[in-house]
Structure 1
Amino acid sequence: MNEILTLVTFLALLFYTGIEMKFQLQMLQQNSYRNDRYNRWLKGESFATISRLTDLFLLLLLSTNFLPTFVQIVTITVVLAKSVKGLQTKYKKTLVFTKRATRLYIAALSLSLLVAGLAAGLTTLSNGSRALLAIAILAPYFMMAANIIMQPVEKRINRKYYDEAKQILSQMQDLTVIGITGSYGKTSTKHYLYRILCERYNVLMTPGSFNTPMGVIRTIREQMKPYHNIFICEMGAKQIGDIKEICDLVAPQIGIITAVGEQHLESFKTIGNVQRTKFELVDALPSSGLAVINNDFPYIANRPVENVPVKRYTIADTGADYHIEDIRYDTDATRFTVVGGGERIELSTKLIGECNLSNLMAAVITARHLQVPVPSIQYGVGRIEQVEHRLNMKRTPGGISIIDDAFNSNPDGARMALDVLRRMTQGKRIIITPGMIELGEKQVEYNYILGKQIAEVCDYVMIVGRYNREAILKGLQEKNYPEDKVFVADTFTDAQARLAQIAQPGDTVLYENDLPDTFK
């Protein structure tokens, strides 16, 4: 009986270790499989949680001879309960078991089994159980160790995929590659440009947020066909050299920079590094190409471009090559005119907000350069659907308007979203936000400013989570915002429950940012 109980304890702890490793893999995946970023997240987590202290207590009990049968039964019960809870927990961004994730998970489990097996083989199965529980407690470090072990394998696999993608591109002699980057706005611009260019060309774009080298490579290998004549390639970056790496692969002829702003400062450190990285796209263009860049951002306007023809654009007429006039927000559409290149192009769109109009302008400039007729542009713009979670608006059956700006908020984007909310004059204006992240040393400052901006626009404020709570509240207090109009929610679910209590027909709710699971 004791031997069976010992075996069951070992198997229960093996299962629990697997669940712990799965969670750590999920967090590592959200940190781009980079141990440095993952370790920074780990340092922000409290080790002394009830769950972790429970594991330590069980490990202490298993290491003694105190009531061994009782301790094993308690251990089995607790770890199985925690495992079931781990499986049932819902996350905003679930783990995607890609081939890489699967390889890494197997490596982490194999490393765990090796250590536990050595402990059991050298002594007893009971020691193996203790080793497994210790591994579960130290799961983050086993995951990082497995990630290091797998690096040579991943590099070899990635090189093989890179060479295959390069070979495919070399066979596409008539392909025009358009690179799009920016601190924000690149995904929206990509979708808008794709819809317009489809009026004349066979277009492929990187899907979703496939804006890393491996995402681009996967798109080329799996989706590019001989009949494609335009490839729109979104290019993301977290550090200097990221954009150049993608440009070396795809060799863009046209480059669009939508913004250079203070985002991802945690990794970039300075706005100068952001500028340098985004302009790696322009620097990679051939002299026969074209750069389309947004002069509404000082760190774009002050950057000279001499290696390639350039068209600069702004919302207002500030002397750039293109600007917008006659913006009119109607109930069914936004109407505006793009002015530049000797033309006035009148357009109508379902999109709202100046940031979306700016992104549309970049797409229109590029489309005209590629000789898409004006009527085709007007038709395409009129049928562009709003990109999910990027300042899109919808109305609930109960008559409440929702402005969804939940994806990857930043100081400029948040300001523009609040400007859209300001224009809503019927009913209460409500915001639900956890604040902004990845702003490095300016994190507190910008969330404090956000609090002050919210105070000038909103009738009711819900702050979600603890991460930026203090800074936002300080900004609200600076503007003497009524305390009874502020609701502090630990979770998004709590905020939704409160919203159901206070919202009425005619109200407008702005969802500004939605932090990933790596933030509280």
Structure 2
Amino acid sequence: MISIIAFIILLAFIVRSLRQVFYQTYLWQLKEYRWDRFWSFLKTHQGRQLIFNKLSIFKWILFILIYIFPIFNSRLRGEIPSFAVIIYSFYLFWFTWILELVLSIRDLYLKKWRLPVFTPKSVLIIIAVLSIQFFPLINIYWVSVLLLGPLLDKILAPSVVLSVTFFNLPSHFFRLIIYKQAQFKIRRLSRLKVIAITGSFGKTSTKTFLEKILSAEYKVSATPGSFNTDLSVARHINLNLNENIDFFIVEMGAYRRGEINKICQLVSPHTGIITALGSQHLDLFGSRQNLIKAKFELIDSLPSGGLAIINSPDPLLKPMIVKAKKRLDNMLLINKSEMTKNRQINKTFLQFDLKLNNRLFHFKANLIGEQNIDNLVLAISAANLLGVSMPVIQKEVSTITPPAKTMQIVRDTKNLTLIDDTFNVNYEGILSAINYLKLYHGLRVIFLNPLIELGNKSREFHQNIGKKAGDICHFLITTNLNNYPDLLSGINHSEKRIAKLLLADNKTVTRIREELTYDSVILFAGKESFKWISFFIKI
């Protein structure tokens, strides 16, 4: 009987260790193995729960009773505390593993395990941590796992951190090799012209639209999806560029100053486009001024004969623009309000008139949401300056489709429309998406993945999102508890206060499905909301 119990405890330890290693590796991978991004995550409700959840605190108390209190007490009083205290602390610790085993089996059945993408780096991290966790198993006295278990339990997270730090070193070396190979290759492609696009949001859409328009008359290559780091750009160059390509469109992302400059040193852009500057990753940049300076590294890298296209309504950009004008021969400043007229946003398309070269041109696109007008204006203006005629541009714009998971209608019936905006992770885009929901007269619902890395603006921005949703949506459903009080405060301070704030779960889904009426709409915003689309796609 004792052997069976010991086996169950050992199995529970193995399963909970596997799940925790997978989950924590997944988190680090999600944050690109970056300390700054992981630290920003730890400051969220989810991050704090990773460390200070009730079970973890309970384990720490038991850990102290087992390993630390006896030493402290014996030095103070010269005696070891009651043996029973230590034994019962072990029993309780082992019981927590059995509890975790039951929950893990349940969550595995419900497909709630979070697994990393199994790359060489993530596999090495997992192997390293599990080697530390399971090394007592190679001992003939495998029962030592039960005695060392509480210690192994509490060093799992630090082991993941150390493994990530260790394997970042060779990873940096291999990144450098890939970077240098790409730099050597692209410098031999003499006919190639590089268009670089950066900004806080709108990068991927603008890139996709510009690629579609330019492809009508040129051979174009573009970085796929939202791949916008120096490594992903270098890999694309090594695998896909050749001497037949006319234009290479590069999306550039950054979390700190200097990172865009590094990509620019790789590709040497001739044309630079800044889409819009918001507050995305503000926590990492430290200030909005640092964010602006980081994005303008693209403009600073252009040759004097290059072309800069800047979405410029923000007055904070003025000093940077004045500085750039002194050096660059060609610069176009975009202001949607001044350049467009007769803007119409419909449920399945948008249209507007654009003033370019002192002429007015009409455009219609099968896109939704007013934010796409900004992206289209940038793409149209760039394509025209790069040699594509207006009739050709108008034709291509009429057949443009949205990038995957970006204000993309995935179901459209008379009773229910589902909009996948799960790629969207920016404040301005979410406000614009919520505003679009006003076109529907039935139930209006948004599943929201609360935003991250907003620094000291996080509370204000989530209150504003709540306030916007409070006037337009009937339900605001959040995928986690990050900034939950701020969203609720925003709803309570809205004018109409029609929105109910709920946490996403099966009960909430059932309630929404029961309350759907004619001409209802559900918007899914942010990555975590994607899993909830399947609950409505077939009803």
Q: Same fold (TM over 0.5)?
A: yes
Q: Quick one: distance in 2 between partners of 1:331 and 1:11?
A: 54
Deviation at 1:164, TM superposition (A): 1.7
Instruction: Out of 271-280 and 220-229, give the one that drifted further.
Output: 220-229
Aligned match of 1:175? 192
Aligned match of 1:100? 121
Question: Conserved in 2, the CA contact under 8 Å of 1:251 and 1:284?
Answer: yes
Letter in 1 for 2:37: R
* Identity rate, percent: 28
Question: Conserved in 1, the CA contact under 8 Å of 2:274 and 2:309?
Answer: yes
Aligned match of 2:241? 224
SS class of match (1:474): helix
Deviation at 1:377, TM superposition (A): 1.3
Question: Conserved in 2, the CA contact under 8 Å of 1:104 and 1:146?
Answer: yes
Question: Conserved in 2, the CA contact under 8 Å of 1:255 and 1:285?
Answer: yes
Aligned match of 1:450? 465
Aligned match of 2:78? none
Question: Conserved in 1, the CA contact under 8 Å of 2:219 and 2:244?
Answer: yes
SS class of match (1:45): helix
Deviation at 1:403, TM superposition (A): 3.8
Q: Quick one: distance in 2 between partners of 1:213 and 1:495?
A: 41
Aligned match of 2:481? 466
Identify which of 224, 237, 248 aligns with 1:207.
224
Deviation at 1:293, TM superposition (A): 0.7
SS class of match (1:292): strand
Q: Using a 3 Å threshold, how does the CA distance of structure 1 residues 128 and 454 change in structure 2: closer, same or farther?
A: closer
Deviation at 1:27, TM superposition (A): 0.6
Q: Quick one: distance in 2 between partners of 1:513 and 1:452?
A: 18
SS class of match (2:272): strand
Identify which of 464, 469, 477 aligns with 2:492.
477
Aligned match of 1:26? 26
SS class of match (2:391): helix
Aligned match of 2:513? 500
Question: Conserved in 1, the CA contact under 8 Å of 2:477 and 2:502?
Answer: yes
Whether 1:143 and 2:180 are equivalent positions in the alignment is no
The answer to which structure has the higher helix fraction is 2
Question: Conserved in 2, the CA contact under 8 Å of 1:19 and 1:86?
Answer: no
Q: Quick one: distance in 2 between partners of 1:456 and 1:8?
A: 54
Identify which of 460, 485, 504 aligns with 1:491.
504
Aligned match of 2:352? 336
Whether 1:160 and 2:177 are equivalent positions in the alignment is yes
Letter in 2 for 1:19: R
Whether 1:310 and 2:331 are equivalent positions in the alignment is yes
SS class of match (2:308): strand
Query: Over aligned residues, Cα RMSD in angstroms?
Result: 3.4
Q: Using a 3 Å threshold, how does the CA distance of structure 1 residues 492 and 164 change in structure 2: closer, same or farther?
A: farther
SS class of match (1:364): helix
* TM-score (norm. length: structure 1): 0.86
Letter in 1 for 2:25: L
Question: Conserved in 2, the CA contact under 8 Å of 1:259 and 1:300?
Answer: no
Q: Using a 3 Å threshold, how does the CA distance of structure 1 residues 5 and 223 change in structure 2: closer, same or farther?
A: farther
Deviation at 1:436, TM superposition (A): 3.2
Q: Quick one: distance in 2 between partners of 1:198 and 1:86?
A: 46
Q: Using a 3 Å threshold, how does the CA distance of structure 1 residues 229 and 4 change in structure 2: closer, same or farther?
A: farther
Q: Quick one: distance in 2 between partners of 1:92 and 1:286?
A: 49
Q: Quick one: distance in 2 between partners of 1:166 and 1:376?
A: 34
Report Cα offsets for 1:279-309 as digits up to 9, x if no partner: 0111111112111110133333453223322
Report Cα offsets for 1:202-227 as digits up to 9, x if no partner: 22111122111122122222333342
Aligned match of 2:48? 45
Matches within 5 A, 1:24-423: 24-42=24-42, 44-46=47-49, 47-49=51-53, 51-52=55-56, 80-85=101-106, 87-88=108-109, 90=111, 95-113=116-134, 116=136, 124-132=141-149, 134-304=151-321, 305-306=324-325, 307-308=327-328, 309-317=330-338, 323-329=339-345, 333-397=349-413, 399-422=415-438
Structure 2, gaps ≥5 residues long: 68-82, 531-539
Q: Using a 3 Å threshold, how does the CA distance of structure 1 residues 328 and 469 change in structure 2: closer, same or farther?
A: same
